[in-house]
Amino acid sequence: MDHLLLFFLVAHLLIIIFLSKPFVILASESTNKSEVDRQALLDFRQGITDPLGVLRSWRKDSLDFCSWRGVTCGKALPLRVISLELNSLGLAGQLSSSLANLTSITRLDLGNNSFSGPIPATLFSASSQLVFVDLEVNLFSGRIPDFPRMSTLRILRLAENSLSGKIPASLGNVSSLTEIFMYSNSLGGSIPETLSQIQNLSFLSLSENNLVGHVPAQLYNISSLVALA
């Protein structure tokens, strides 16, 4: 067999291997987690405006999203976003539901900006690693989304927005909470009794809303509660 024939045979075989189904499935299954995070950040960037030009480092053609302003990545590979901190930067616009694709994020601080529209319902998921969420002092409106069982979220700051509707009873599913701030919104209805399931709750601030009814007696049974305002 001469070399040329061998070359063609091998090349042919390689093409067959590349085109065969198992290979294609394998390739699409090996999702690049970093690329998912980069895309989620770009989706978020796409939906907001940045009048002060503070997000200049967030370039579409930049692969190194870990160095973008406000983004912190963990040490494990592939690199994942663990924190997004963009407090007090004059940012506006609506939050992309793609934020939920940042499945390793523990800290989300978007406080004191001009973000508006709804809080994406996908933000709080059972598999979320979120520990700290600050969306305070913005223009968020609509209802607070439902909460699945979550066991990491400790601090939830939603105060000083235009949130309406009831405080979801499902908030009681977030057993890890220690601080809840929802004052100064347009929340109605009564305080859900389910909040008394949150054993380690120490701050609960719901003032300056349109709440009706009594503070559920069970709430006074939370031994860790030091402030109720």
CA atoms within 13 Å, Cβ hemisphere of 56: 3
Site for ligand NAG in 134-193 (CB under 6 A): 148-149, 169-170, 172-173, 175-176
Can residue 228 be called a binding residue for ligand NAG (CB under 6 A)?
Answer: no
- The neighbour count for residue 25, using CB atoms within 10 Å, is 9
CA separation for the pair 104, 83 (Å, rounded): 8
Structure tokens at 137: 């002092």
Rg (CA), the chain: 23
> What's phi and psi for 105, nearest 5 deg?
-70, 135
**Strands lying side by side in the sheet with 162-166:** 48-49, 92-94, 114-117, 139-143, 162-166, 186-188
Can residue 38 be called a binding residue for ligand NAG (CB under 6 A)?
Answer: yes
Can residue 46 be called a binding residue for ligand NAG (CB under 6 A)?
Answer: no
The residue range among 21-29, 180-188, 205-213, 216-224 that interacts with ligand NAG, by the rule CB under 6 A, is 216-224
Can residue 217 be called a binding residue for ligand NAG (CB under 6 A)?
Answer: yes
Least separation in angstroms between CB 38 and ligand NAG: 5
The residue range among 7-15, 28-36, 54-62, 66-74 that interacts with ligand NAG, by the rule CB under 6 A, is 28-36
Least separation in angstroms between CB 12 and ligand NAG: 28
Q: How many residues bind ligand NAG (CB under 6 A)?
A: 29
68 Cα distance to chain centroid: 17
By CB under 6 A, name the binding residues for ligand NAG.
32, 34-36, 38, 40, 63, 88, 90, 97-98, 100-101, 112, 122, 148-149, 169-170, 172-173, 175-176, 194, 199-200, 217-218, 221
